[in-house]
Chains A and B, each alone.
Chain A
Amino acid sequence: MRVILIFISAAVINNFVLTYFLGICPFLGVSKRLDTAVNMGFATTFVMTLTAVITWLLNEYVIIKYNLPFLQTVSYIIAIAALVQFVEMFIKKSSPPLYRSLGIYLPLITTNCAVLGLALFASLREYSFIESVFFGVGTGVGFTLALVVMSGIREELDFAEVPKSLQGVPIALLIAGMLALAFMGFAGLLSV
């Protein structure tokens, strides 16, 4: 039961993008078209899930075992960077069109603070292995959800009359703010 709560909490209530404001760069950068947004969401979800697994193992068998809490952040960054490299190779092999459409944003997952944030949150809250995995998947789903909602709105926006001074990034930021406000409505749903 707890894992489901963690999952829902990470995906909706404490959505990383819209509540913690982590991972804003891809949120604004890749949310112009729906299909790219979905692909980016899946790629990030994949990385996040793997990150949750790897960093839990790292935390348990290296950092806690040898009492090296000061190495937590730096070792997580190494692990995430290596993982993203791996995912890049994997996508390049399995789906070249996806590789091309993600472009620079794929390597940028490395520096996506949502991924590092997820790893650090999971260790901070002392989640068990299963809980970490669910937390990772939930965060990824939440990220995808935010990206998809945002890109859906931005695609519709192409047909809307936006005042000239708000065209482009300003209106995107305004929408992001409104989405964040809307997601605050989930805050009372449950608490973990």
Chain B
Amino acid sequence: MLDASFIISVLAMGGLGVFFAVFLSIAEKKFHVEEDPLVTKLLGALPNTNCGGCGYAGCAMLAEKLALKQVSINSCTAGGQAVADAIAGILGVGSMKAERILAVVLCRGGEAEAVKNAVYRGDKTCSAANLTGGEKGCAYSCIEYGDCVSACNYEAMAMDSNGLPVVFYDKCVGCGACARACPRDIIEMHPESRTLFVYCRNKDKGPVAKKLCKVACIACGLCVKDCKTQGGINLKDNLAVIDYELCPQDGEPIKRCPTTCILFGEEEKMTSEAFYSSTPKVAAGR
């Protein structure tokens, strides 16, 4: 037997539900907001991965900015040329070259090269290890726990057998998540056309740097002299810094580098296929 109060309460709650449902659906009709169809269309053309590479909070916000024509059509670094063309088509403007931007790991002091002079037993993340200085003697080196690899949403990074992160140039979309994750700012975002890099961030004086790592920049200044353009490479804080506006992208400056920390076109070679076939089952990430 059903209690009378049971039926009444079911009816009362059901009635309330129906009442509010009807009320809300009427309100929805009445207060319906026409969203700009252009924004929806642009959002469809974007990758919708919300990687943040463009600098806005998600693809929806970039779509809004694009619809208002406040940003250039090649703002989506992750989408590259294809997305830039699609956006140009939707907005009815001329196409624009979207240069690929790629992540570059500017440290080559792995297990074999860098001196370890401490033991770290804490949480195995770079951000945590960075607080205590990590295991390596070099305070500017890669910490090797792979925060960058975890940050990558495109499976475009892995840790190699030498303990350093590798960027797969076939997969990298240039969103910059790895560069933001790195507590030591070793990873930088560069346009694809740049091929000359100083793979070291050590700002110690030459002799100190040399003791800590075999491939450290010791600020000898040979690359500065070898660069064809005056001022193309400068020494700053005991570190060679390339001025990409001036320095021609060729192999000249690397010829006499005693520690081979400045390299030309080195990293382009790695793709995920090549990486995983040459070093099977290397712990990807941590």
Chain A interface (Cβ within 8 Å of chain B)? 58, 62, 66-68, 70-71, 74-75, 78-79, 82, 85-86, 89-90, 92-93, 96
User: Nearest-CB distance from A129 to chain B (Å)?
Assistant: 19
Q: Is B33 a contact partner of A75 (Cβ separation < 8 A)? A: no
Contact of B8 among A68, A75, A85, A86 (CB under 8 A): A68
Contact of B20 among A67, A78, A92, A96 (CB under 8 A): A78
B24 contacts chain A at the CB level, 8 A cutoff: yes
User: Nearest-CB distance from A79 to chain B (Å)?
Assistant: 7
Q: Contacts A67-B5, A68-B9, A86-B23; is A78 near B31 (CB within 8 Å)?
A: no
- State the main secondary structure of chain A at its contact with B: helix
User: Nearest-CB distance from B80 to chain A (Å)?
Assistant: 29
B12 contacts chain A at the CB level, 8 A cutoff: yes
Q: How far is the CA of A90 from the CA of B23 in the complex (A)?
A: 13
- We find that the number of chain B residues with CB closer than 8 angstroms to chain A is 15
> Which B residues from 1 to 57 make CB contacts under 8 A with A?
5, 8-9, 12-13, 16-17, 20, 23-24, 27-28, 31-33
Chain B interface (Cβ within 8 Å of chain A)? 5, 8-9, 12-13, 16-17, 20, 23-24, 27-28, 31-33
CB-CB under 8 A from A74, the residues of chain B are 13
CB-CB under 8 A from B31, the residues of chain A are 89-90, 92-93
Q: How far is the CA of A82 from the CA of B19 in the complex (A)?
A: 10
Q: Is A92 a contact partner of B16 (Cβ separation < 8 A)? A: no
User: Nearest-CB distance from A59 to chain B (Å)?
Assistant: 12
CB-CB under 8 A from A92, the residues of chain B are 31, 33
Contact of A75 among B12, B23, B24, B32 (CB under 8 A): B12
Contact of A86 among B9, B17, B24, B32 (CB under 8 A): B24
Contact of A78 among B5, B17, B27, B33 (CB under 8 A): B17
CB-CB under 8 A from B23, the residues of chain A are 82, 86
Q: How far is the CA of A58 from the CA of B13 in the complex (A)?
A: 11
